[in-house]
Amino acid sequence: MGRISRVRVRFARTSAGKRRATRCLAAVGTALVLVGCGGTKQVPPPTMAVTSTLSVPTDQTPTTQPPNPDVVVSGWAPPPVPIPKDPDYREKLGPYADMVLRGGVVPYGSEEHVLYLISCIESAGFSVAADQDGHGFEAAPGAQVDRFRQVQEACEQHAIDSGLVAPPTPPSEEQLALQYRALLTTYQCLIEHDYPTSEPPSEQAYVDSNGRDWHPYSLLRGNISAVEKECPQDLVVLYEQMARADRQPTP
């Protein structure tokens, strides 16, 4: 997974008989975790990801062609990428900045990244809405789903080429170990607030599974916004908390 994200769309029948796109993981930054599509385990993705949900007509068949790294959309080009002058991520992330940013200015899947993707796609004439969590978006391109995918690819590649974000890559063992440490904080918080959670594996087992087999949120159901306020799962937020703890003087 060494380049821009690919929208993975799994189609299911709704009660109305129409097809809808259920959200799957579209891209991952420092962690490669799959959401439950095609029988994979229902493990929430880390927030350093961009998810997209597409609604298409019943007669629209999803494409299976691999993405073209040199995609060109006739009559349109991605707008310039606004690079934040001082997003503060490096300072807030402290010793974890290099591992998270990997040469980019902001984390992959961050608010700045997603807002650019939305504005870029909208510049091609599509209507796009941000998800409630701010780390993904929804669109209903109708019969223009193929063009939408091309535009999205071009926007994502432009964000990478500009230096706004680093391209997504498979996580290293070091990155997975750090992610495990961060999610243990969430796990402990869930226990303290009496939320349901699953027992974590050992760090090595987590690393060996590439982070796929466990997430502290896996037993939660319904709206989790209240839970996230008390016990964040956003990896960037967790790393910032860890960095602050590292800077506090030892009593």
Kindly tell me if the per-residue pLDDT of 13 is higher than 70: no
Mean residue pLDDT across the chain: 77
pLDDT at 251: 55
Give the C-alpha separation, 27 to 109, whole Å.
8
With 0-12 / 13-18 / 19 or more C-beta atoms within 10 angstroms meaning exposed / middle / buried, residue 202 is exposed
Percentage with pLDDT > 90 across the chain: 53
pLDDT at 22: 30
pLDDT at 153: 93
Report phi then psi at 117, rounded to 5: -60, -45
CA dihedral (65, 119, 166, 23) positive or negative: negative
Kindly tell me if the per-residue pLDDT of 225 is higher than 50: yes
Span 206-224, pLDDT tens digits: 999 999 999 999 999 988 9
Side chain identity at residue 78, one-letter code: P
Rounded alpha-carbon distances, angstroms, from residue 137 to 54, 122, 128, 149, 251: 9, 12, 7, 13, 45
Kindly tell me if the per-residue pLDDT of 31 is higher than 70: no
pLDDT at 143: 84
User: Angle CA(233)–CA(236)–CA(239) in degrees, nearest 5?
Assistant: 95
Percentage with pLDDT > 70 across the chain: 70
One DSSP character per residue, 73-127 reads -TT--PPPP---S---HHHHHGGGHHHHHTT-SS-TTSHHHHHHHHHHHHTTT--
240 vs 19 pLDDT, higher one: 240
Tokens of 245: 């703890």
Give me the mean pLDDT over the 106-120 stretch.
93
Span 48-96, pLDDT tens digits: 556 555 554 444 444 434 444 455 677 899 999 999 988 899 999 999 9
Helix, strand or coil, per DSSP, at residue 157: helix
Give the C-alpha separation, 149 to 129, whole Å.
16
> What's the length of the chain?
251
Report phi then psi at 50, rounded to 5: -120, 120
Kindly tell me if the per-residue pLDDT of 44 is higher than 80: no
Q: What are the residue ranges spanned by the domains of the chain?
A: 9-161, 173-247
